[in-house]
Structure 1
Amino acid sequence: MKHIKKIIVVMIVAVIGIQVYNQFTSNVTGEAQEDKVLNLSVASEPVMDPAFVTDSYSMPMIKNILEGLTRPTNDGEIVPAMAESWDVSEDGKTYTFHLREGIQWNNGDPVTANDFEYAWKRIINPETAAANASKMFIIEGAEAYFMGEGSQEDVKINAVDEETFEVTLTEPAPYFIELTARQTTMMPVHQATVEANPSWATEAGEQFVSNGPFNFVEWNHNGDYTLKKNEGYWDVDNVDLDGVYVRIIEDSMTANMSFESGELDFIGIPFNTIPADAIDSYRANGDMDVTEIGATYMYKLNTTDEIMSNVNIRRALSLAINRQELIDNVVKGEQTPAKGGIAPTVAGFEEDRGYFEDADYDTARDYLAQGMEELGYDDTAAMPIVIQTNDNDSHMAVAQFIQSEWERELGVQATIETTEINVHFESMNQLNYQIGRIGPTVDFNSAYAFLEHYYSADTGQNRTGWENAEYQEILDKVLFEEDEAVQHEMYMEAERILMDEMPFIPIYYYSNPQVKSERMNNLFVDGMVDVQLKEVTINE
């Protein structure tokens, strides 16, 4: 009976979805069903302020509504966007960007270098409390200003004139141009709107001022939102879509049903995931593509928690997971067991580095016994362990598998708690959790991009409370090392510290199983989980 009720609910949701979609296509240009509209779903409400975007569902959307100095293409090339060109000083530290003539916000205001200066300085303004302000610390004076040890005037972010934007770095960083394409903190925002309307991002709609290929049209919270082609966009002639209709569907089974009924054009990361129960069927029919992406599915551990503060408990929990069995029987998406902190998309890190063995139950039990003795526990039943994840069938299945592993092999009885995804991430940001599921992505394909998340306890993507002085010292020096072999060894040493201290449990390196409708082309998710909706076309 419960199964029948679930099917009825899904059918009702599907009918409502069709009705909303028909209304949307009528509203975009007034010609229902004839518009070139891409139909997507995401698992959560988007965060539309670049200062606070940390989740992988919001990032691809905001990067198609706002546009930075550069952008990535489908083949990974970084090309001019708001900036038509740039110069780099001989010492590799000063970048001078030359903005295009005639670029504008969708309200008609010109996009100028002042917009970038305002937006970037807003990120590092300590009063903003931006989630990823540390991403800007490569800029001279940025960290000191953010930490209250310097002034805004000392930050080397300057609008030389309306079409010239200059930035000076603390040291040469060959990846900096890629950051300007991929990092949301480097997107411009419309200053007058931000300062005049406190709800400009939380109630984004027609009042949201954008400069990218698409505009916000409407946002029905917890229901759907719609994007429309920005006719004032500098490259509008190369945007095929009239609009994008995005339904918010947290349940992966419901999203999959919507895809199968023709209401959605894509299922896969970064918008949602194919439910494990559907993967075998899609694979057998030849409908599913699998691509590699630079991200790791992990359980972060709150090292400020009494139990998770013990490194031997952390090691025990990590070693008592059979990652390959989890992949083969639960997630089924051709993932790779993760036994390190750097994804195999990075050159030189394709192979296992041997930090620990998968499903090493005997060693796990030894670590557990030592950790319990250090904490004063005689019985695992008295030691509370809580896995927190967002409310999603796929993540719940992983949690249940790991829960079973820990109980069978360690006698540890873990409780699983689920919350709405934004609540889940916020509790992790506040260290109000014990064990938390997350799948962080990076901004450029480098070992440093993965390792910098744990530079200090205050780093925006850390979320574990862990830091280590030796680890910090390596990261402070590694970018200055010119010998690539030595630099690689330094990265390996930093990763070894991570895997020895285990502030997170790496579970698997992501792959991206995805299915696409036949009515559209060129929806490509690159290795950094970026999507260029401006390149998507709809078949006539």
Structure 2
Amino acid sequence: MKKIRNFALVVGLVVTAGILAACGNQTSKNGSNKQSISLMQTSDLTSLDNTNQATMPEFNTLTNISEGLYRLNDKDQPVPAMATKIVKPSDNGKKYIFHIRKSAKWSNGDTVKAVDFEYSWKRSLNPANNPVYTYVFSGIKNADAIINHKKSYKTLGIRATGEKTLEITLDHPMAYFNKLVAMPVFMPQDKSFVEKVGIKQYGTNAKNTVSNGAFKITDWTGTSDSYRLVKNPYYWDKKAIKLDQINYKTVKDSNTAHNLFEDKKLDDATISGVTAKSLQKNKNLKSVPKAWTYYLQVNQRKGQPLANQKLRQAISLAINRKELTNKVLADGSLPASGFVSPGTAIDPTTGKDFSRETSFSVAQNTAQARKLFNAGKKEAGISGTVNLSIVGDDQDVTKNVAQYLQGQLDKTLPGVKVNISNIPDKAQQARRSEGKFDLAQWYWLADFGDPINYLGILTTNNTMNPGKFSDRTYDNLIQKAKTADNQADYWQALRQAEKRLMSRTGIIPLYYVRESHLVNPKLHGVEYHVAGFADYTRASITK
């Protein structure tokens, strides 16, 4: 899934009182000592409806206010959350019976019921809800047929058989099912509350949002660039929660993030680019490996110039990825040699890192790029200048990467003119979904540690595939992996799919993200997941 992050620090930057107050323990008027930390988002939070959104601010927040059947622990392994235990499937691995904790409640005091899971999951596949993250349900009974409009979303293989009993049926066994259901998209929704406020209003601001996790959200209007998470008094495991409050603020600029950290107004600041490069020896720097690939989505719709494979290949060969990561990013990120990033998963049939065993050459080849570009123009019937647009969000790092790509392509490819548009996140997502781009800056941050989480999003007509890459061989390989009944066939199909994707230049990988954080040394217990999102619910901060 899911944004990454220096314009000059604005003189007189006003920080909302209470949102970016002094970090750490705070003493209230009555003398009590409260634990509070301040964090940043790199773009604004626009929704908390997990059934039709899939953005980093949303998933970052949901990870810290809500829980699914399982959550990931500090070793990236599933542990019981709303479910009372880790369930062993029956019916040859195709049926799961979950019992929901009796003490589980929503932040408004409502009981968490089995039907809340059924309601949420089915909303995530209801076409009327404009779902965007449907593919992850593949493998759950009838999900594929629902996604392909052959069955009603109501037939999804999940049903509440009692107030606290939930039955989930699969089309076939799924080795990664336990990690899958820890994702935010599989979190429940308080059915009675959603219907009370209205499905179009749910998750649009703090007033219209409830949560079942360690915290609840306050002070969020739906358009504000700051908000707070406060301890949920109804949380089933509240004794394990040390923090009383988490303050969030949108900070798009690394230089601003660094200054806020130095001023003790951020406890965990994400930095990149020249800021990260200059702070590589800082004692508070923490480098966080992530299953995260930054890439270019390529518009391959019929009639678009980049529907031509040779033009796509030429663009990929024109990019100097080592220079991009070493000089533009300079934050520890690495040149991408495939879609699946290193560290995502070990192929158990070979004992090798999946990313490394399927990687391709990332060396820049300007001569071959020019040759392919000219041949591609001829094949596509293009004469004269080729105008290409690069669309991305308005974060500083995105702008820097866009400018670098623009320079590389304008310099290397004959007769090309590149225009860049770095616009607010919501606007660029609309541009991508409407196909109004040639190249779109995007990323995939794995939600769980398996290559299928990357490769599955690029099948024909997948909602997460706005570039419209479509290849029958690739689709068949993904389907073969999903229905494989043994490890050998599963991993072989995935290896072949990754190599097919790269040979067809379905996307253009740029770099593997390695997050650089400035972390308050007094902050402890943060679970930085390789696949997924940082969990601060069990964190604490010392005096």
257, 260, 269: which is aligned to 1:258?
260
**2:427 counterpart of 1:388:** no
SS at 1:533 equivalent? coil
Aligned partner of 2:79 in structure 1 is: 79
Q: 1:526 to 1:404 in 2, by over 3 A?
A: same
Amino acid at match of 2:272: P
Question: Do 1:256 and 1:275's aligned partners in 2 also have CA atoms closer than 8 Å?
Answer: no
Q: 1:25 to 1:189 in 2, by over 3 A?
A: farther
Q: 1:383 to 1:72 in 2, by over 3 A?
A: same
Please list the CA deviations of residues 254-289 of structure 1 after superposition, one character each: whole Å capped at 9, or x if unmatched: 223212211111122xxxxx1312123321233322
Q: 1:251 to 1:291 in 2, by over 3 A?
A: closer
Q: 1:33 to 1:43 in 2, by over 3 A?
A: farther
Q: Which moved more, 1:20-29 or 1:245-254?
A: 20-29
Aligned partner of 1:441 in structure 2 is: 445
Aligned partner of 2:491 in structure 1 is: 488
Matches of 2:241 and 2:297, distance apart in 1: 40
Shift of 1:253: 2.6
Aligned partner of 2:423 in structure 1 is: 419
**2:65 counterpart of 1:68:** no
Q: 1:205 to 1:29 in 2, by over 3 A?
A: farther
Q: Which moved more, 1:348-357 or 1:259-268?
A: 348-357
Q: Which moved more, 1:150-159 or 1:358-367?
A: 150-159
- Give unpaired runs (5+ residues) of structure 1: 1-5, 269-273
Matches of 1:99 and 1:451, distance apart in 2: 32
Aligned partner of 2:284 in structure 1 is: 287
Please list the CA deviations of residues 451-471 of structure 1 after superposition, one character each: whole Å capped at 9, or x if unmatched: 1011222x1221211111111
Q: 1:357 to 1:418 in 2, by over 3 A?
A: closer
341, 345, 359: which is aligned to 1:343?
341
Matches of 1:400 and 1:78, distance apart in 2: 41
Question: Do 1:23 and 1:32's aligned partners in 2 also have CA atoms closer than 8 Å?
Answer: no
Aligned partner of 2:500 in structure 1 is: 497
Aligned partner of 2:366 in structure 1 is: 361
513, 516, 521: which is aligned to 1:518?
521
Q: Which moved more, 1:77-86 or 1:526-535?
A: 526-535
Please list the CA deviations of residues 497-532 of structure 1 after superposition, one character each: whole Å capped at 9, or x if unmatched: 211221211001111221101231122321113222
Q: Between Structure 1 and Structure 2, which shows a larger proportion of helix residues?
A: 1
Aligned partner of 2:316 in structure 1 is: 318
Q: Which moved more, 1:358-367 or 1:279-288?
A: 279-288
Matches of 2:336 and 2:395, distance apart in 1: 21
- Give unpaired runs (5+ residues) of structure 2: 1-6, 347-352
Question: Do 1:339 and 1:358's aligned partners in 2 also have CA atoms closer than 8 Å?
Answer: no
Q: 1:22 to 1:335 in 2, by over 3 A?
A: closer
Aligned partner of 1:372 in structure 2 is: 377
Question: Do 1:296 and 1:343's aligned partners in 2 also have CA atoms closer than 8 Å?
Answer: yes
SS at 1:363 equivalent? helix
Q: 1:112 to 1:72 in 2, by over 3 A?
A: same
Aligned partner of 1:479 in structure 2 is: 482
Matches of 1:26 and 1:534, distance apart in 2: 16
Question: Do 2:388 and 2:438's aligned partners in 1 also have CA atoms closer than 8 Å?
Answer: yes
Please list the CA deviations of residues 91-120 of structure 1 after superposition, one character each: whole Å capped at 9, or x if unmatched: 001011111112111111111111111111
Shift of 1:24: 12
Matches of 2:319 and 2:287, distance apart in 1: 24
Aligned partner of 1:114 in structure 2 is: 115
Shift of 1:313: 0.7
Aligned partner of 1:212 in structure 2 is: 213
464, 469, 474: which is aligned to 2:472?
469
SS at 2:403 equivalent? helix
**2:536 counterpart of 1:533:** yes
Please list the CA deviations of residues 154-200 of structure 1 after superposition, one character each: whole Å capped at 9, or x if unmatched: 33211111111001001000111111112x22111111222222354
Matches of 1:50 and 1:115, distance apart in 2: 13
Aligned partner of 1:331 in structure 2 is: 329
Matches of 2:23 and 2:321, distance apart in 1: 43
Q: Which moved more, 1:256-265 or 1:350-359?
A: 350-359
Amino acid at match of 1:488: W
SS at 1:143 equivalent? helix
TM-score by length of 1: 0.91
**2:204 counterpart of 1:203:** yes
Matches of 1:364 and 1:70, distance apart in 2: 47
203, 224, 227: which is aligned to 2:226?
224
SS at 2:410 equivalent? helix
**2:50 counterpart of 1:50:** yes
SS at 1:298 equivalent? strand
Matches of 2:357 and 2:478, distance apart in 1: 22
SS at 2:288 equivalent? strand
Please list the CA deviations of residues 190-225 of structure 1 after superposition, one character each: whole Å capped at 9, or x if unmatched: 112222223544532144221111101111423311
Matches of 2:489 and 2:110, distance apart in 1: 49
Q: Write out aligned runs for 1:153-168 (5 A).
A: 154-168=155-169
Aligned partner of 2:185 in structure 1 is: 185
Question: Do 2:19 and 2:248's aligned partners in 1 also have CA atoms closer than 8 Å?
Answer: no
Question: Do 2:284 and 2:521's aligned partners in 1 also have CA atoms closer than 8 Å?
Answer: no
Matches of 2:59 and 2:359, distance apart in 1: 33
Amino acid at match of 1:293: K
Q: 1:211 to 1:354 in 2, by over 3 A?
A: closer
Please list the CA deviations of residues 367-398 of structure 1 after superposition, one character each: whole Å capped at 9, or x if unmatched: 1011111122333xx21111111112211111
456, 460, 468: which is aligned to 1:456?
460
Matches of 2:237 and 2:59, distance apart in 1: 21
Amino acid at match of 2:161: V
Q: Write out aligned runs for 1:119-158 (5 A).
A: 119-152=120-153, 154-158=155-159
Q: Which moved more, 1:357-366 or 1:468-477?
A: 357-366
Q: Which moved more, 1:247-256 or 1:348-357?
A: 348-357
**2:275 counterpart of 1:278:** yes
Aligned partner of 2:12 in structure 1 is: 12
Question: Do 2:295 and 2:443's aligned partners in 1 also have CA atoms closer than 8 Å?
Answer: yes
SS at 2:10 equivalent? helix
Identity between Structure 1 and Structure 2 (%):
26
Shift of 1:365: 1.3
Matches of 1:29 and 1:144, distance apart in 2: 56
Matches of 2:247 and 2:107, distance apart in 1: 19
Matches of 2:381 and 2:31, distance apart in 1: 67
SS at 2:356 equivalent? coil
Matches of 2:508 and 2:533, distance apart in 1: 25
Amino acid at match of 2:370: R
SS at 1:293 equivalent? strand
Aligned partner of 1:3 in structure 2 is: none
Question: Do 1:279 and 1:333's aligned partners in 2 also have CA atoms closer than 8 Å?
Answer: yes
240, 243, 254: which is aligned to 1:238?
240
Question: Do 2:23 and 2:265's aligned partners in 1 also have CA atoms closer than 8 Å?
Answer: no
Q: Which moved more, 1:97-106 or 1:424-433?
A: 424-433
Amino acid at match of 1:285: N
Matches of 2:41 and 2:12, distance apart in 1: 19
Q: 1:171 to 1:333 in 2, by over 3 A?
A: same
Question: Do 1:22 and 1:32's aligned partners in 2 also have CA atoms closer than 8 Å?
Answer: no
Matches of 1:132 and 1:509, distance apart in 2: 22
Matches of 1:266 and 1:19, distance apart in 2: 17
Shift of 1:486: 4.4
Matches of 1:121 and 1:29, distance apart in 2: 44
